[in-house]
Chain A
């Protein structure tokens, strides 16, 4: 099944869905009009062969990453010359349109058809909340917890939406672009 045939099939079922303006290269990328469509689209995909949820994640498009989120020490190794360790400062690309949204992404695979469809959904940063897919795909369980932990996206109806990778005392969500490190007992 080619990408166009697959897209036509999806659009026949959900006419409001369109191709994403910023597609993932080489794969069919569709954009959901609203978060209310997520469950119905994933259920349809699951019942039509796309029963393998490969990956889910998100991106914060606020702007270049805040350097306050990194712990940078003076070069304590006296034998290394200055600049021996990578010291790159983040910089904004003036030609790029940053916007305060979180772009979520789900990647469904049909093992039989050897096809992949990537579903995208844009959410405002301050209200990043979508229905959980953990009831449909168990693969979503930990990956949603990871996205919640690192990116601060709330998955409604997730059975156990708790931190998974970062320590309990860590405040904030590290992969948000405005994350700033708060000193804790392991600094100094």
Chain B
């Protein structure tokens, strides 16, 4: 945790007018920081001259905790990073551990993993859609978004008993097979949800007030976005076509037909609209997966109760809701991971704030911070 204190205050002359600088703490308890994030802002009038994001309030040391837990226990830890979309977290840990152990996953489990991750992406983007509306002054979309998000969470609850921390994707497959009833409910949701996406566009996406608030704010060029290491919708909003599902396919994503929505100039609105369009693609993937859901087992044979993978190193990455989520895993042949490193997308995405906020107006801080869609559980791990 960095001790962000006020910059040395100097009275500069700007345009012949003597101005004072002021230090403002935004957060850690602030509704639009979406968790415990503090930004130390030094402002001159309404213009920001220095911004220091201060993180670590939620640091639980999961990388250290993993070193004294066995591989099955570690899946439980992964739920707690990005608690808004925990399925990709489960998945990425299982993928890297399965690489170490050399496990082969049955096709039905792969398809179920894809369905769950895409469903979770919809739930996570709905949360973004609702809260970003609130951040920029529109309360109504939040109510609509949460109505649909509840349905997804109910589906998850029906399937595995948990609404947020699922622990559903396990080493070697998934926890439990779906029931025919659940599949019917999922199909009902998909049919219900498709027309809602058009409703969202009329409600918020092309709302003139919302567009004026976000269209030319926080623009990032493609070169900047790549240099900052952004990933997910934040990178694609700047027009960079980088999606792990296309570049390094896992779980059979190469067999699904979907597009990767791209933005134009990397403004807050582009980042927002990339996510809204991604929901449509996710629904498309879910439909395809449902139409050709293979029969068979959902758990690989021969997954040890206490796995001891051979010494080695593995890296697996997935396109999580917030960007590229990667796990670097080292095994020394023991029952625990010797080292686990999480490449958390929110953590890397957040770093650009310290430079991009400088020169903006105070009111735009919320618009920019909301548009990069961070979850502090993942930033601090």
Contacts and interface: CB of A to CB of B under 8 A. Distances in A.
Contacts of B328: 24, 55, 57, 105
Interface in B332-347: 332-336, 338-339, 341, 343, 347
B264 interface: no
Contact of A51 (B61, B227, B314): B227
A124 interface: no
Contact of B240 (A27, A67, A111, A116): A111
A59 B339 contact: yes
Interface size class of A (residues with CB under 8 A): 35 or more
B136 interface: no
Interface string A37-69: 000000000000001111101011000110101
Nearest to B228: A138
B314 A24 contact: yes
Interface string A71-91: 000000000000000101111
A180 interface: no
A165 B99 contact: no
B227 A114 contact: no
Contact of B341 (A57, A69, A141): A57
Interface footprint category on B: 35 or more
Interface stretch (B64-72, B172-180, B286-294): B64-72
B312 interface: yes
B210 to A, nearest CB: 30
A1 interface: no
A186 to B, nearest CB: 13
A23 B312 CA distance: 8
A93 interface: yes
Contact of B226 (A26, A57, A111, A142): A111
A2 interface: no
Contacts of A69: 64
Nearest to B343: A55
B100 interface: yes
Given A52-B242, A114-B247, 12 more contacts: A25-B99, A51-B226, A52-B226, A59-B341, A70-B68, A88-B335, A90-B67, A138-B228, A139-B348, A142-B347, A163-B1, A174-B61
